[in-house]
Amino acid sequence: MTASQNTFINDQIINDILEKYAKPDVAQIQEVLAKAREMKGLSLEDVAVLMGISEPKQLAELFETANHIKDTIYGKRLVMFAPLYITNLCANECTYCAFRVKNKAIVRRALNQQEIKRETEALIKQGHKRVLLVAGESYPKQGFQYVLDSVRSVYEANFNDDNIRRVNVNVAPLTLDEFKALKAEKIGTYQLFQETYHRDTYKTVHVGGKKMDYDWRVSAMHRAMEAGIDDVGIGVLFGLNDYRYEMLAMMQHIKELENVFGVGPHTISVPRMEPATGSDMSIAPPSPVSDDNFRRIVAILRCAVPYTGIIMSTRESGQMRRDTFALGVSQISAGSRTNPGGYEEEDDISGQFSLGDHRPMDEVIRDVAQMGYVPSFCTGCYRLGRTGQDFMDLAKPGAIKAHCGPNALSSFMEYLNHYASPETYKIGVELVERTIAELEGLPAERARKLVDRVNNGQSDVYC
Ligand code: SAM
Ligand code: SF4
């Protein structure tokens, strides 16, 4: 699809639906919640009904439904990752971001390949296995080749025979050929947030550089999928525009990808605007999303696209992150830095935005484990080629639990043996044993075998 052909974000339809379902009655809400429990996804109209809930009792029912879906499909697994910012150079002027070209308040830096390897080693030492490579939209003299080289450097980095096993990438929209080159570097997910699907708002907040082109951005996932990248991750920057509009527009994007490619996005991210150095807008977002509505967003997404991962970053506080695990979040970052070089050096002023959760990785892992969630470092699906449609085929009959459950436990055991503090180790081992004891049949058998193999010194074992 070329950039000028976007017709799938349809304002008229969105506004009509929002108006029609602004005040749903109890019967309508009950009907949608019952449909959500079938775990086959929801329509735009259904999503609008859930956004129209006003009674605390019905909101509690929505949360309960989201929790039921999360538990049934994902169990107590939480996938862990860390962002790796390779450069804060940027030629765009996004008014909410510290990296915008005219901002003089940050120190600019593009890591070289040696520095990227050192940053990666710092992440491996923390126990990470998945990295999300992030960059502003301006690369050193090698141009886009810099991104390709950087992906390779992350995979090549090594510490004590350990390495990063999946590199996801969040960089500006690419051409079809560039996406093909990125795919050839064996990336996991290509991630890109539309920021806002609302054309006029988009225009107001993107006032310089290539990113001003709405259509080039909204068509990026088509090019990525056409280039053979099966797993794509979408998102909205909440705070720019009415969240209800954005939710329906995001649903239109999802349905479009399903129609054209037979499969929707692998993940959805829910970044909420945080204060950024040199950005007045970020301190007073034009359409702020309250904590209550933020929880509602996560719960509705869990109901609407039950098999799509939901990613929660360290933009949010530890408490908000905890609240949303039960409502549908399936992946979290931990111990993050948003300034290039930040894992090796302390530099607070050159980050992209301020973080809500500053805790080191070990502390987050301990907290998650204490809540009964199993931190997963598994990268098995992607490495066995279970991506895109294949992943969904596996996921839909409920097989996620049979594979991902045991794999989460073995990868967590590997983390505990190599990287955990004594306190976290103790809590983690108890959780692993308790979780295996609660499993039954094939998943129980698999989990026991995989964890025993890890405890006998093997690494990177999965089914
Ligand atoms: N430069 C590329 C782009 O804009 O697509 C790649 C990634 S950008 C570094 C990552 C994301 O950070 C953006 O897509 C945006 O949603 C988010 N972001 C920017 N400013 C933010 C802020 N003040 N608070 C929270 N998230 C922000
Ligand atoms: Fe640059 Fe991305 Fe920040 Fe926009 S959001 S200024 S493109 S880094």
Question: What are the pLDDT digits (tens) for 370-410?
Answer: 999 999 998 877 677 666 666 666 666 566 677 888 999 99
- 365 Cβ inside 6 Å of ligand 1: no
> How far is the C-alpha of 409 from the C-alpha of 378, rounded, in Å?
9
Question: What are the pLDDT digits (tens) for 338-372?
Answer: 999 999 876 556 787 888 998 999 999 999 999 99
Residue 427 lies in a domain: yes
Residue 151 lies in a domain: no
So what's the pLDDT on residue 235?
98
Q: How far is the CA of 196 from the centre of ligand 2 (A)?
A: 13
- 340 Cβ inside 6 Å of ligand 1: no
So what's the pLDDT on residue 353?
81
Q: How far is the CA of 402 from the centre of ligand 1 (A)?
A: 35
Atom index in ligand 1 nearest the CA of residue 275 equals 23
- 273 Cβ inside 6 Å of ligand 1: yes
Residue 284 lies in a domain: no
Nearest residue to 9 via CA among 185, 247, 293, 321? 247
Atom index in ligand 1 nearest the CA of residue 269 equals 16
Q: Which residue has the tokens 């970052």?
A: 333
Question: What are the pLDDT digits (tens) for 4-42?
Answer: 557 899 999 999 999 999 999 999 999 999 999 999 999
> How far is the C-alpha of 403 from the C-alpha of 395, rounded, in Å?
10
Q: How far is the CA of 239 from the centre of ligand 1 (A)?
A: 12
Domain that holds residue 439: 399-455
Percentage of the chain beyond pLDDT 70 is: 94
Half-sphere exposure of 446 (CA within 13 A, CB side): 19
Q: How far is the CA of 431 from the centre of ligand 1 (A)?
A: 35
Q: How far is the CA of 309 from the centre of ligand 1 (A)?
A: 19
Q: Are 36 and 69 in contact (CB under 8 A)?
A: yes
- 65 Cβ inside 6 Å of ligand 1: no
Q: Are 36 and 299 in contact (CB under 8 A)?
A: no
Q: How far is the CA of 136 from the centre of ligand 2 (A)?
A: 5
> How far is the C-alpha of 42 from the C-alpha of 44, rounded, in Å?
7
- 75 Cβ inside 6 Å of ligand 1: no
Residue 408 lies in a domain: yes
So what's the pLDDT on residue 395?
63
> How far is the C-alpha of 69 from the C-alpha of 77, rounded, in Å?
13
Residues with CB under 6 A from ligand 2: 90, 92, 94, 97, 99-100, 136-137, 211
Averaged pLDDT of the chain: 94
Mean pLDDT, residues 89-99 taken together? 98
0.90 exceeded by pTM:
yes
Question: What are the pLDDT digits (tens) for 167-192?
Answer: 999 999 999 999 999 999 999 999 99
So what's the pLDDT on residue 402?
77
Q: Which residue type is seen at 336?
A: S
Q: How far is the CA of 87 from the centre of ligand 2 (A)?
A: 11
Work out how many domains the chain is built from and give that number. Answer: 1
101, 174, 237, best to mutate for ligand 1 pocket (most atoms within 8 Å of CB)? 237
Q: How far is the CA of 340 from the centre of ligand 2 (A)?
A: 14
Q: How far is the CA of 368 from the centre of ligand 1 (A)?
A: 26
Residue 324 lies in a domain: no
Angle between helices 243-261 and 44-51 (to 10 degrees): 160
> How far is the C-alpha of 259 from the C-alpha of 242, rounded, in Å?
26
- 191 Cβ inside 6 Å of ligand 1: no
So what's the pLDDT on residue 463?
82
> How far is the C-alpha of 322 from the C-alpha of 366, rounded, in Å?
12
In total, the chain counts a number of residues equal to 463
Q: How far is the CA of 34 from the centre of ligand 1 (A)?
A: 36
Q: Which ligand is nearest to the CA of 196?
A: 1
Question: What are the pLDDT digits (tens) for 403-449?
Answer: 888 999 999 999 999 999 999 999 999 999 999 999 988 889 999 99
Residue 141 lies in a domain: no
ipTM: 0.99
Closest residue CA from atom 6 of ligand 2: 100
Q: Which residue type is seen at 251?
A: M
- 136 Cβ inside 6 Å of ligand 1: yes
Angle between helices 243-261 and 291-304 (to 10 degrees): 20
So what's the pLDDT on residue 114?
97
Atom index in ligand 1 nearest the CA of residue 85 equals 9
Q: Which residues of 89-112 are buried (b: 16+ CB within 10 A; e: fewer)?
A: bbbbbbbbbbbbbebeebebbbbe
Query: Helix, strand, or coil here: 456?
Result: coil
Q: How far apart are the first and last CA of the chain?
A: 37
Q: Which ligand is nearest to the CA of 285?
A: 1
Atom index in ligand 1 nearest the CA of residue 193 equals 14
Residue 416 lies in a domain: yes
Q: How far is the CA of 255 from the centre of ligand 2 (A)?
A: 27
Nearest residue to 387 via CA among 175, 168, 164? 168
Residue 433 lies in a domain: yes
User: How far, in Å, are 62, 186, 272, 379, 380 from residue 383 at the CA level?
Assistant: 35, 9, 31, 6, 5
85, 95, 97, best to mutate for ligand 2 pocket (most atoms within 8 Å of CB)? 97
So what's the pLDDT on residue 136?
98
